[in-house]
Every structure is written in C-alpha cells, then in structure tokens.
Structure 1
Amino acid sequence: MLKYIARRFVIAIPEIFIISLIVFLIMQAAPGDFLDQYRLDPSVSEKFLEQMKRELGLDKPVMVQYVIWLKNVIKGNFGYSFYYRRPVSSLIWERVFATLILSITSLSFAWILGVVTGTFSALKKYSIWDKLLTVVAFSGIAIPGFFLGLLLLYIAAKTGWFPIAGMVSVEHSQMTSWERFKDLAWHLILPSFALGFGTFASLMRYMRGSLLDVLNEDYVTFARAKGLPERMVIYKHAMRNAINPMITLLG
C-alpha cells in the first residue's frame, strides 16, 4: 500500500508541473498585461513603464518568468494581486474556510441521503417509490451542475425563500451564536444542493445495486432461515457488506 501511494505521489509531481506550465503559457498568451492600464494614461512616461517591466520581470522570456514563478510558489510566495492590492496567499486563505465548509456540507448531503434513499429504493424494489427515486436519480445524473445552479438561483429569486448571494447575512456579526449558525446553514442550502445533487444521484444508484446484490447472497438467506428478524437481517448483516463499496467511493 505504501509503495502504491509513493508511486502515485511520484507520478503526480510531473503532472502538476506540466499542468502549471500549460496554465502559465495560456495566461501569457492572453493579449495585454498589467501595464496596459498605465499605457492608456498619457501622463505616464515610457521610462516609468520600462522600470515597471523590469521590476515585475515582464521583460524576461516567458520560460524565465515561469521558473521565477515556480520558485516563488515552492517557497510559499504566490505573488501579489494587483486587482485586490493584496498578497495572493491572504486571498487564498480567506476562501479556504468557505471552500471546506461548502465541500463538507455538499458531500455529507450527498452521501447520507444517497445511502438512505438507495437502501429504501432497494427494499422497495419495483414499487412506485423505487420508480420515483429512479427518475430522480437519472435526472440528477443527466442534469448539468451549472444548469441546476442557475435553476435554483431563478427559483430563489422568484420566491425569496433562500438567499441568492453571500455566505452570511449583512447583520451576521450582530447575531447570537445560534442565530449565526442558522444564518450560515440557510445560506449553504442552495449551493450544497447544487454541488451535491449529482453525487447523491450516483451514490443512490450504487447503494441500491450493492444492497440488491448482497440480499441475494447465501449468508442472507441463511440468516433469514435461522428466523432472525428482517430488520436485523437487513441492517446488521446485509447493510454492513453493502456499504463497503460506498466507503471506497467516498475515499
């Protein structure tokens, strides 16, 4: 296992290097640069522009610029944002918390609801509930995430039931701890649903298929023949084995 992880890690290093190089070259291929805003100002001299080019390293070849950028990134220096007029690292760390919160909530929603509905669908095989959940699952797999997000924004804007912007309300700082939690949770409902719905649909189908396969195993038939309650057969014996592939998918 350790050898496999080490091998994958070694393979990932050149992949990251190649991807970063391609992205850097694409950015360099875009027309214009940071100094264009100064070139439009007639009061800015050519001498000032040349000095800025040297300070920013824009006078160097593209590959030299990439090597300089790569060295700085390895050292933890991600550069300076001229748009926000702040170090890029501070901007990244500000958004890490929001990204983690959104990732955890969407994954929790998808995994928990996927397991529950997948189990229910398997136990109600070929019933109206199973068919309804199958339609929901295939819809979730087929609908593009961006379209679902736009649809949710439209519904929220028309109904006013959910906030359509921001992570918290304007008066968030004046709320109590419990009110802050509810405010944050309320703002997370739509984005978590938009991000997790496709994953939920896939996990539900996986869970349904996995549980149906396990229910046909001999040890499940034997447990029923021993007279064990159906609830114990399902949740203690069948579910324990059916959920293993789900844990692999979660990883």
Structure 2
Amino acid sequence: MSTYLLRRLIYMVVILLAASLFIFCLYALTPGDFITNNLKLSPERKAELREIYGFNKPLIDRYLNWMGRALHGDFGFSLAQQKPVLTLFNEYVWNSFLLAITSTFFTWVIAVIIGVISAYRQYSWFDSLVMVLIFAAMSIPSFFIGLFLIKLFAVDLRWLPPGGMTTTGSNAAGWAYVLEVLHHMTLPVVVMVLLGVGSLTRYFRSNMLDVIRQDYIRTARAKGMKERTVLFRHALRNAMLPAITLVGFELPGLFGGSLIIEKIFNWPGIGQLYMQSFTVRDYPLLMGFTMFIAVLTVIGTLLSDILYHVADPRVKL
C-alpha cells in the first residue's frame, strides 16, 4: 500500500504540474484581460498596471513566477475584487460546499433507493414511470427547471424565497440563522437533486440488474433469507462497486457543477464568483479556481481507487 501511495503521489505531482502549465497558458494566451477591457483606464494607466502585475513579461517568466507563488499558497490577486484569491476562496467556497454536499447526499440516497426498487420490479409500472421521469429530468435544462420552480414556489405560492442565502437586512443568529439558510437553500438543492438523480438512478438500476441475476443471489434466496436482506445486504453491496469510480468525479463536481444554479438563485458561492470573474476576465481568480478543481480531481481519483480496494479486497492496487 505504501509503495502504491508513493507512486500515485509522484504521478499526482507530475499531473498537477502539467495541468498548471496548460491552465496558465490557456488563460494567458486568451485575447484581452481585465486591464485591457477596462474602458475607465487611460492608456498610460493600463501600461502602468501591466508593468506592476507583470503582464508585459514573457510567458515562461510569468508562469514560473505564478507557480512559485502558488507553491507558497499565493495564487495571486483578484483585479476585479481587489482581494487575494485565497481570501476570496475562503469567503465563498464554504457556501458552495454546503449547497453541493447537501444535494449530493440526497441525490445518492434517492438514486440508490429508486435504482434498487426499479431493478427489482423491472418492466413494472413503477419502473416505466421512473424511466420516463428520469429522461424528462435529464432533458430539461437546469436554468428552465430553476426558473420554473422559482415561479411556482416563490412567486405564485410564496412558500420559499426566490434566491440568496439569507433575507435582505436579516440579523438572525444561532438557530434562527441556520433555519433561514436552510429555507433559502431548499430550491437550489431540489434543482441540483433533480438534475443529478436521473443519470445516477440509471447507473444503479443497470448495476443491480446485472447483480441480481448472479448465482450467489439465487443461493441466498434459496437459503430462505428475507428479500430485503438479499437486495440491500448482498446485491446492493456488489452493485455499489462500479459506482465507487464515480467518487473521483463527485469531489470536483461539488464545486464545478453548481455554476449555473448559483447564478440563477443568486447564491453567494464560488460558482457565481467564477461566472462574474469570467465576464470581466479576471484571470488570476480564474486560474486559481481552475487549479483548485484540478487538485480536487486528482485527489478524488486517488480516493476512488483506494475505496474500490477497500470495498473489494480482490482488486489489486
């Protein structure tokens, strides 16, 4: 195990170095930047700022300077927000994490339950209804679902707030603040669950259909075990093995998958900050966020491989 982890850590370092070079070149070679597109600045002031921030230096010098500071925890200074990139991450990333981890939890729980029942009752009215709803949810754009739910529950019924994380001007604290945040995050969580549960349910249904036809499932039933025990203790455990590979994509997806949702519901998360920075081409913040997603991707891939070995000892690392 230790040899495998050491080898994987070396691979991760090489991959992240290559990703950092690609990310930096992608943004650095894109025409225009925050200073160039700022119409309020005079040509002399633009030239001065480009000199201050080193935008007029050769590409390789800029990359080495950026990478050297990144290794010391400094990912640059946001020109649009006038704050260090890591400071902005600390202010916004936890809001995105709260929204994403909650929706991911409900997505997996609902997908597992519906996938198991749908596979067990294959071709029944329940299975047919589930498949129709799954394809409907996957076909409708996220912004349409979000706007429709805002129209229905916030405008017409007035049950839920249309957006934001707290009520404007609210001074709630303690449990009152927690309840207020939960009230505001209900709609975005529902939309994210609807968008993610479809494909995941199909995945679990397909895996369960393969597993429940195996000989050991027939043997467990022949021994007189309860059907619930056979499904959730024997069949589901083995059907979960292929799904473990999805963990590597879920970790970066916690922050990368809610960009549009945060914009629609005006949620103060890292996704909305990324969209704002992309509009004004605030490249230091964009590079820091993209590098953050790259780090989460390689960490998630490593975790999925280790979890797969833990779940199935027959798999050799």
How would you bin the TM-score normalised by the shorter chain?
0.7 to 0.9
> In the TM superposition, what is the alpha-carbon distance from 1:8 to its structure 2 partner?
4.6
Question: How is 1:125-164 mapped onto 2 (pairs within 5 angstroms)?
Answer: 125-159=122-156, 160-164=158-162
* 1:10 alignment partner, one of 7, 10, 14: 14
Task: Give the distance between the partners of 1:155 and 1:63, measured in 2 at CA.
Answer: 53
**CA gap 1:229/1:54 in 2 versus in 1, 3 angstroms:** closer
> In the TM superposition, what is the alpha-carbon distance from 1:14 to its structure 2 partner?
0.6
* 1:245 alignment partner, one of 232, 242, 247: 242
Query: One-letter code of the match for 1:119?
Result: V
Deviates more, 1:124-133 or 1:146-155: 146-155
> In the TM superposition, what is the alpha-carbon distance from 1:126 to its structure 2 partner?
1.5
Task: Give the distance between the partners of 1:246 and 1:62, measured in 2 at CA.
Answer: 42
Matched, 1:19 2:23: yes
2:265 equivalent in structure 1: none
**Larger RCO (CA within 8 A; separation ≥ 6):** 2
> What SS does the corresponding residue of 2:236 show, helix, strand or coil?
helix
Query: One-letter code of the match for 1:191?
Result: P
> In the TM superposition, what is the alpha-carbon distance from 1:51 to its structure 2 partner?
4.8
Deviations 1:4-23 (A, max 9, x none): 45335423321231122111
1:54 equivalent in structure 2: 51
Deviations 1:41-86 (A, max 9, x none): xxxxx5x666555334355455544444443333333333343333
Q: Which runs of 5+ in 2 are unaligned?
A: 248-303, 305-317
**CA gap 1:34/1:233 in 2 versus in 1, 3 angstroms:** closer
TM-score, reference length from structure 2 = 0.66
Query: One-letter code of the match for 2:238?
Result: N
2:163 equivalent in structure 1: 165
> In the TM superposition, what is the alpha-carbon distance from 1:30 to its structure 2 partner?
4.7
The answer as to whether partners of 2:119 and 2:208 remain within 8 angstroms in 1 is yes
> In the TM superposition, what is the alpha-carbon distance from 1:213 to its structure 2 partner?
1.7
Query: One-letter code of the match for 2:155?
Result: K
Deviations 1:192-216 (A, max 9, x none): 2333333211111111121222211
Find the structure with the greater CA-based Rg. Answer: 1
Matched, 1:204 2:201: yes
1:39 equivalent in structure 2: 42
Question: How is 1:158-237 mapped onto 2 (pairs within 5 angstroms)?
Answer: 158-159=155-156, 160-170=158-168, 172-177=170-175, 179-237=176-234
Query: Alignment length, in residue pairs?
Result: 243
The answer as to whether partners of 1:24 and 1:66 remain within 8 angstroms in 2 is no
**CA gap 1:140/1:107 in 2 versus in 1, 3 angstroms:** same
Task: Give the distance between the partners of 2:121 and 2:231, measured in 1 at CA.
Answer: 13
Task: Give the distance between the partners of 1:5 and 1:137, measured in 2 at CA.
Answer: 39
> What SS does the corresponding residue of 1:173 show, helix, strand or coil?
coil
**CA gap 1:149/1:70 in 2 versus in 1, 3 angstroms:** farther
Task: Give the distance between the partners of 1:236 and 1:210, measured in 2 at CA.
Answer: 15
Task: Give the distance between the partners of 2:37 and 2:77, measured in 1 at CA.
Answer: 12
> What SS does the corresponding residue of 2:224 show, helix, strand or coil?
coil
TM-score, reference length from structure 1 = 0.81
> What SS does the corresponding residue of 2:80 show, helix, strand or coil?
coil
Query: One-letter code of the match for 2:20?
Result: I
> In the TM superposition, what is the alpha-carbon distance from 1:217 to its structure 2 partner?
1.1
2:288 equivalent in structure 1: none
> In the TM superposition, what is the alpha-carbon distance from 1:168 to its structure 2 partner?
2.0
* RMSD (CA atoms): 2.9
Deviations 1:91-116 (A, max 9, x none): 22101111211221121121111101
Query: One-letter code of the match for 2:87?
Result: S
